[in-house]
Structure 1
């Protein structure tokens, strides 16, 4: 519901909202330009200014001071009206004054879309839409990252989703302020709320009637500081009953032109002062620096509109059509889907089609469409993502309440598959909650809860094998989420470790393909050159021949190193690892980059503790290589045999020598008295406690089994500090990249 509340106003009001953002950004420059061209003297009174201006312009009629401090004199000379910007120090003209026709047109476009009263209504609705979008966007962002404390954490999702959220995270405070103040001002225009109008002071019944004295000598004008002036209207020459009209920040009054006495005065009320503050906060007039900041935020609106519309369309397109969807009451198998951005539906469709291919009648629907009864079903699958900090995704946010009211069907067995990202502290929490609720209510479990990290195609296929064993037939689940366009890589170097082993390892270094493209001059001129942008810890997706499903490998280099480097162990029966191990220098592959910004060393001088095993050393070696600032960095790594697979040994020795690596701790399992990396952590507990107590961050890369053992070991190490891995994780000081 919250996502729809955010998306629909944006889609329907996009043109008006973008127009308001662009015009608002333009108008934000005016106060700053005024301020740059204005000298604001200190301690100058209105009387002194009026006297100086009157000496140069005997026909002076009015002096105005803008919120930015610009002084404008309106005068009549030889029967011709004129206006000039005034230097307050001398009272002389800086330049003739004429309002900018362009700025006036942009202001009308901003306030009413050039449509007078109907346009002002539309502008008010657009301001309200920006307010709704800003508030709902903040709530969505908080749900997505897991609360205020996690607001600065790296964002996930498609490129357009990340770009949209990143821009919103930067600009939302300014947009909220502009939307709030704009909505209030629009409501005040139509007298829905109190506005800035204030009644005139009572006009004096009589004046002294004496001769006019020079403005510089009048007491009321002497007592008024120029910084408080809004407007001074001079009396009509030769009329003894005429008075000065003085308007200031505090109130308005009339001044006797002979005695200088304040004949009447009406202070501004609190409502008027509040409106003046709202006006200043919205326009930046009087707060030029705020105006510039709000203008920069307003410039983000077109970007937010474009990326938001793209993300919306991607979500719409990502939800596949389910072919052969049987009615719920006649289906033998029920698949219920919990998804926020529709990516889980792709996995559900593959499961649906695979089960139909075995001859079953299958019904697939959202988890919120749980039926009260399924008359023919004996299998129930729940495939669900988790949203934000353990919350239900959009299509499953009513499921836990619904399942409480549905009678348990003893004929049905269930299985839950959760999708999530292990970098979140509450990984697959909603899937776990749904699984626990089913068990608590008495539903029969067929398979233990299974989870999939970052939409892993391999993990999904493996789960399909377990489902096949349950239903008694082979079930092949191949699903590859839509990936970016691929680019060509050429293998330039390979370093082999333990080639005689059944599972050897290799470091593979690629660079961009340099083969000459077919075609004419234009194609050669505009062909892509060099490697795309990536950083150590990002993932490279490689699609092996004979499979549509990409395999992902953590990168041990970044683009500025000039190579794309991965460390690969050949798995027995592994399609992609066998393919990569069969490559020779000069061979080409197609690949794409999947950013992994959450797996990075933190910036700053706090120590970084790198923990890995086997080929998990790849990105860790990349982090060390790029530690040109020589910040404290400690590596704990486990291998099999130092004689055959001490991966990156020469490089690590060099990094120790040049202090990019502070300490190296290794553990080898296939030597006498062998040990694993988690044992080294326990052995070095005192040092680790000191490093983590000083703000250290832990980065872990390797197999999921190794990562589980490392978490257990670190919890033991951290117990005396009243810390654990969970606490470190939620503060961004514990990150994993596991497979």
Structure 2
């Protein structure tokens, strides 16, 4: 409930202030260039901290007949008003070391003056200033609520800067830029609020009044100006303005305005006649101005420039995500066949972004086609169902193992509501295995239902990693096996561009009914090893995905023919010159890690396919070690030529095989266990470990890697996962 409150608060605040934020951001971008342009002017004094106030005053006194005042601007210009020895009055930029006038004081560029007025008040004077101040306050709240949502999504404040898994461009960079630019944006917003409050006299007034006794010291100087203690100790970067005495009378003083206080200095003996330290309100005002405008710091003005630009991106990406979620929310409305009390099958969904509904709708459609009555709704809508016999739960996990927003009440509802009749149930969890609490909410739901005798499991909990179509089809197959149904659920509704491929090479089936197929496209089709090709057999509607290798611009597949596999059986009958159609899909999470210092590739069966192509990409000869598991030595024969060629070209450093049906009868994880030192070295030196093959193999390998990581490196494996050193594509 709290998470939902923060998310919607963030959204409402952003929408309500979007127009003003756009104006403020665009004008902020323009104004950020002013300090940058000032920094390249010839009048800038770069070493103010090395020049004492006394040196500059003495230089000016020597150079001019009379000095009225000089000031140091936030842009590090020194401006003096003087009367020359020829009696002329001049005001200009000066060199504080030589006292020479470098140029006349220029008026501010019209574009910056215009933009400042628009930025401060929208040309609406007090009303405009009020709106801008209000928008600054709203921006503070937007940043804070965004931080709370982000922390929840990442699993807590301590994990705020852990790896971001979102793949959608808008969502991914909304998070990445948000967490790095949060602080500059907060500073912009807070200083904007402070400066607005100051303009409307909402801050405590600081009444600065000097009080001093007239000093009757002789008119003759007792010290040279350059030797005045306060002038010797004060460098120019601490000074804002100096006003010189109007006469030689002892009652006229040097009026010195520093960054944090004002001083009256006796013009003959250098004594501090009066000193007023600025109150916090005054110091905070000066600091707020510098932080809000970037004056005096090119680096900070660049930060403000990026922050202002990022606000525009946040508005764009936020709108894009909201529209996307809005479209998906329409699909989240209950799909009813006969109503909840007239349906046999109850399909409840927990989804944060709407993606899980895609899978649920596919099952819903297929159940209806099977003549079943189905009611589909969210987990928060759990209730009693008069005629229900089956309960299917499809749920994602949000944040740090939490329930999605539309499932947050489910556990409480289950504890309160007793089914009218016993329900057979199945739970499907959706998530990403890269997270430590993978499918944690689905696990909790499954355990909760197992504890209640009114719920009877149809099949074990099934987890779907990264919305895998293959994993989903495995569940459909298992469901059909357990229920003797024949669901044909598919989530591939969007038609992708079909490409025509020609079979240019094909090996015979080996002892394991496995073969290598090489395809070539008539047209140039961009792809990489690790991408996926989806092939649909003739007279069929369901496509089967295969991980591809790219070798000599050809698609190379390793396919195992299954007795009941329609696609693999179809492909096993292909001959040289045959044409087939398929679609290519990017799989960026499993491309060759070019920046890794070394690589371990682990595969079993046909999972070796993408590695055959990645070996070809290893032109820089990164140390690469291949571990493969199969049944027999003959199983590996079709891949051996690729390995020998790679060794001769130094594309790989070694390869090791494990055979489960002969010799020592080992699995690939058993061979890998003898290379603990190699694993530790690869991980500690910034190398990568890649796994491709069966899920069963993946789980065993991950268990071994976790053990090595904890025992040898004293760190959990998740550390290296977050460091993008672990890549997996298993099925």
Q: TM-score, with normalisation over the residues of structure 2? A: 0.84
Given that residues 710 and 717 in structure 2 are in contact (C-alpha distance below 8 angstroms), is that contact kept between their aligned partners in structure 1? Answer: no
Compared CA separation, residues 198 and 562, structure 1 to 2 (3 A)? farther
Pairing 1:383–2:394 present: yes
2:71 to 64, 72, 95: 64
Pairing 1:311–2:321 present: yes
2:599 to 605, 608, 624: 608
Partner of 2:583: 591
Note the 1:584-663 alignment, pairs <5 A.
587=579, 589=581, 591-597=583-589, 601=593, 603-605=595-597, 607-643=598-634, 645-663=636-654
Pairing 1:13–2:17 present: yes
Given that residues 65 and 231 in structure 1 are in contact (C-alpha distance below 8 angstroms), is that contact kept between their aligned partners in structure 2? Answer: yes
Note the 1:666-677 alignment, pairs <5 A.
666-669=657-660, 675-677=666-668
- Farther off after superposition, 64-73 or 492-501: 492-501
2:102 to 80, 94, 99: 94
State the shift of 1:603 in Å: 4.2
Number of equivalences: 714
Partner of 1:172: 182
Compared CA separation, residues 356 and 267, structure 1 to 2 (3 A)? same
Partner of 1:519: none
State the shift of 1:702 in Å: 0.3
Secondary structure of 1:597's aligned partner: helix
Compared CA separation, residues 58 and 326, structure 1 to 2 (3 A)? farther
Note the 1:211-290 alignment, pairs <5 A.
219=228, 221=231, 224-236=234-246, 243-257=253-267, 261-290=271-300
State the shift of 1:258 in Å: 5.9
Partner of 1:524: none
State the shift of 1:292 in Å: 1.4
Given that residues 145 and 155 in structure 1 are in contact (C-alpha distance below 8 angstroms), is that contact kept between their aligned partners in structure 2? Answer: no
Given that residues 160 and 310 in structure 1 are in contact (C-alpha distance below 8 angstroms), is that contact kept between their aligned partners in structure 2? Answer: yes
Note the 1:312-711 alignment, pairs <5 A.
312-319=322-329, 320=331, 322-324=334-336, 326-371=338-383, 373-447=384-458, 448-468=460-480, 473-480=485-492, 486=497, 489=499, 491=501, 494-499=504-509, 503-508=513-518, 510=520, 513=523, 531=526, 536-540=529-533, 551-557=544-550, 566-577=557-568, 582=574, 587=579, 589=581, 591-597=583-589, 601=593, 603-605=595-597, 607-643=598-634, 645-669=636-660, 675-684=666-675, 688=679, 697-711=688-702
Compared CA separation, residues 603 and 174, structure 1 to 2 (3 A)? farther
1:114 to 105, 111, 123: 123
2:730 to 716, 734, 738: 738
State the distance in 2 between where 1:443 and 1:728 align.
43
Q: Deviations over 1:546-603 (max 9, x none)?
A: 6666544334349xx8666554444444455556664866957453433433776494
Partner of 1:517: none
Partner of 1:44: 51
State the distance in 2 between where 1:240 and 1:717 align.
82
Secondary structure of 1:388's aligned partner: coil
Compared CA separation, residues 367 and 64, structure 1 to 2 (3 A)? same
Given that residues 655 and 661 in structure 1 are in contact (C-alpha distance below 8 angstroms), is that contact kept between their aligned partners in structure 2? Answer: yes
State the shift of 1:432 in Å: 0.8
State the shift of 1:346 in Å: 1.8
Given that residues 35 and 295 in structure 2 are in contact (C-alpha distance below 8 angstroms), is that contact kept between their aligned partners in structure 1? Answer: yes
State the shift of 1:616 in Å: 1.2
Given that residues 36 and 301 in structure 2 are in contact (C-alpha distance below 8 angstroms), is that contact kept between their aligned partners in structure 1? Answer: yes
Partner of 1:131: 140
Compared CA separation, residues 304 and 150, structure 1 to 2 (3 A)? closer
Compared CA separation, residues 566 and 5, structure 1 to 2 (3 A)? farther
Compared CA separation, residues 186 and 664, structure 1 to 2 (3 A)? farther
- Farther off after superposition, 77-86 or 260-269: 77-86
Secondary structure of 2:346's aligned partner: strand
Partner of 1:526: none
State the shift of 1:252 in Å: 0.8
Compared CA separation, residues 422 and 105, structure 1 to 2 (3 A)? same
State the shift of 1:217 in Å: 6.4
State the distance in 2 between where 1:578 and 1:107 align.
71
State the distance in 1 between where 2:375 and 2:489 align.
17
State the distance in 1 between where 2:553 and 2:45 align.
54
State the distance in 2 between where 1:171 and 1:222 align.
41
- Quote the RMSD (CA, aligned, Å): 4.0
Q: Deviations over 1:311-364 (max 9, x none)?
A: 221222123255445543444332211001111112222223333344444322
State the shift of 1:501 in Å: 6.2
Q: Deviations over 1:640-687 (max 9, x none)?
A: 555465454333223323433222101345656654323322454565
Compared CA separation, residues 535 and 62, structure 1 to 2 (3 A)? farther
State the distance in 2 between where 1:49 and 1:512 align.
78
Structure 2's unaligned 5+ residue stretches are none
State the distance in 2 between where 1:713 and 1:205 align.
84
Compared CA separation, residues 104 and 367, structure 1 to 2 (3 A)? same
Compared CA separation, residues 362 and 125, structure 1 to 2 (3 A)? farther
State the distance in 2 between where 1:455 and 1:408 align.
31
Given that residues 601 and 623 in structure 1 are in contact (C-alpha distance below 8 angstroms), is that contact kept between their aligned partners in structure 2? Answer: no
Structure 1's unaligned 5+ residue stretches are 515-529
State the shift of 1:439 in Å: 1.7
State the shift of 1:247 in Å: 0.5
Given that residues 250 and 266 in structure 2 are in contact (C-alpha distance below 8 angstroms), is that contact kept between their aligned partners in structure 1? Answer: no
Given that residues 203 and 281 in structure 2 are in contact (C-alpha distance below 8 angstroms), is that contact kept between their aligned partners in structure 1? Answer: no
State the distance in 1 between where 2:653 and 2:286 align.
59
Secondary structure of 1:28's aligned partner: helix
Partner of 1:22: 26
Compared CA separation, residues 258 and 28, structure 1 to 2 (3 A)? same
State the distance in 2 between where 1:727 and 1:409 align.
47
Secondary structure of 2:29's aligned partner: helix
State the shift of 1:63 in Å: 1.9
Q: Deviations over 1:27-80 (max 9, x none)?
A: 333334334431234543334324544666667544221234211235689999
State the shift of 1:470 in Å: 5.6
State the distance in 2 between where 1:660 and 1:436 align.
48
- Farther off after superposition, 25-34 or 585-594: 585-594
